[in-house]
Chain A
Amino acid sequence: MNKKIISVFMCGLLLMGSLVGCGGNTTIEDKADVNTEAKGEGTEQTEKSENEVKINEALAVEKTKVYVSPEWLNSVINNEQNESKDFAILECGWGKEEIAEDYKNGHVPGAMHMNTDNIESPEKWDLRSGEEMEKLMLDFGITKDTTVICYSSKGLSSADDRVAFAMLWAGVENVKVLDGGLEAWNAKEFALETTSNKGEAVESFGVTVPAHPEYILDTEQIKEKLKNDDNFKLVSIRSWAEFVGETSGYSYIDRAGEPEGAIWGHDTDDGSYADENGNTVDTDVLAKYLAESDVTLENELSFYCGTGWRAAVPFLLCYEEGMTNISMYDDGWFVYQNDGANSVQLGDPKSDEFEITTVEVLSTDKSRK
């Protein structure tokens, strides 16, 4: 009798164990085969149809909000947000997927790898043409209505910001960046997967690419604006050493300096745009940086760096505040220093050693060693 009771009890335990075990990892709305390796309790994903979205109001964010928390992304994956209906997660970094160790070692469930070379042309490292960008997004299954969520493996990396900017420029209406990147995701012990995900190609993006050409200024435009528009401010998102012309900051740029008239907006790589928790700061901090040069958020602002990665951060900060007086000088210092006739400033604008010269007289030994 006792043996029978114990047998029945053990069978029951086994059955329950099987059910619990099978219920842990599930699919994400046709996005990908998700072989999650749950690291904690934060990712109980349940299969729900698209019509069964139960909004987690506490985590919901505005459409124009760019920097989002790991909790929000997890709720999107778990079908708890309006964005859950049509979203794409992009793990952004340089290099093809074969060499993207951070992606292969474990990425956010459903994420596709986005090589930044896909969005930048090697001649100038500017964003690719509208036609190229449209084809890329169609291949990734992205339309203007898809919510694109970008992240990088490192919190301070601006690869995700660069891709997010490219998506906004192209015409994607709801673009997010995971604040703190994969480091923040891992800190919450959310699930990772190692599956290689590919998008399902779509036929139409839904709008002419780029939908927002006004987000980018070229070299001639900034030169004209600097000359004729006192309200226009060209904001350098580079290190102080780059700003005063001690180094170009890049191994592939020979000359150091800044376009004449540029002001310093601090660097993103040194953590100036992250708080103590690694989260992206708000525009108050940017306003403080601008105030050092007697500039405010009311001015027309165009951000730039070497090739457009770091400059994407303040652009996105201002974008999510609803500012429309912003743009990016995408050519950046890389293109500007290729024309010998361009006017250049060297040194601290507030010091006696500040000087104006031209690119052609700059020394060519300022590349980062």
Chain B
Amino acid sequence: MNKIMNIITKLIIMISVLGAFVLQYFSAHKMGMARHMFYMNQKLSKIISLSNVETVIFIVTLIIFVASVAIFIWKKPKLNIVDKGLFAVISILIANELLFLNVDYTVAFYFKCILFLLALFSQSIYILFRCMHKE
């Protein structure tokens, strides 16, 4: 079970992070993709105000991050260096995105944030899972 969970979360993380960088690259290098991202931002803005998207992502990220760190401290899950490192890298990626970048810098900003958040969420779920299934 541990192995399956490990594979699934790593796959989700890989696809999310890779997807974020692919979005970043093509929206900066291909006109069609850039305009498509503008269009997606417009669609997103019809669901939720874009000024609120960043705040929502920031709060959710903070909650997941704090919860994961709390689990680390109290439950002390048996995690190898790769899992700990992955958690740190994803946290840095999303922090960099939220603190230093914005939609004016990269039109794919919101979708990159969502993908990084998905990666962080997946890794946190895996950490929680390891706490519940200590072997």
Contact = CB atoms under 8 A, between A and B. Distances in A.
B134 to A, nearest CB: 47
Contacts of A125: 35
B3 interface: no
B39 A95 contact: no
Contacts of A95: 28-29, 31
Contacts of B29: 95, 99
Contact of B32 (A99, A116, A251): A251
B38 A252 contact: yes
Interface string B20-39: 00000000110111111011
Chief secondary structure at chain A's binding surface:
loop
A251 B36 contact: yes
A113 B28 CA distance: 16
A122 B27 CA distance: 14
Contacts of B32: 250-252
A94 interface: yes
A65 B31 CA distance: 30
Contacts of B36: 251-252
Contacts of A94: 31, 34
B61 to A, nearest CB: 27
B32 to A, nearest CB: 5
Contacts of B35: 122, 125, 250-252
Which of B34, B35, B39 is packed against the most chain A CB atoms within 10 Å? Answer: B35
Interface string A118-146: 00001001000000000000000000000
Contacts of B33: 251
B39 A99 contact: no
B35 to A, nearest CB: 5
B31 A122 contact: no
B38 A122 contact: yes
Interface in A251-269: 251-253
Contacts of B31: 94-95, 116
Nearest to B38: A122
Contacts of B39: 251-253
A334 to B, nearest CB: 9
Interface in B66-109: none
A99 B30 CA distance: 10
Contacts of A122: 35, 38
B3 to A, nearest CB: 37
Nearest to B32: A251
Nearest to B107: A122
A100 to B, nearest CB: 10
A94 B34 CA distance: 10
Interface string A226-265: 0000000000000000000000001111000000000000
A73 B39 CA distance: 38
A165 B7 CA distance: 55
Interface string A94-114: 110001000000000000000
A188 B35 CA distance: 35
A92 B16 CA distance: 35
Given A94-B31, A95-B31, A251-B32, 11 more contacts: A94-B34, A95-B28, A122-B35, A250-B35, A251-B33, A251-B36, A252-B32, A252-B35, A252-B38, A252-B39, A253-B39
Interface of A: 94-95, 99, 116, 122, 125, 250-253
Interface of B: 28-29, 31-36, 38-39
The list of the 9 closest CB pairs from A to B, nearest first, reads A252-B39, A94-B31, A252-B36, A251-B36, A252-B35, A122-B38, A251-B32, A99-B29, A99-B28
14 contacts: A94-B31, A94-B34, A99-B28, A99-B29, A122-B38, A250-B32, A250-B35, A251-B32, A251-B33, A251-B35, A251-B39, A252-B35, A252-B36, A252-B39
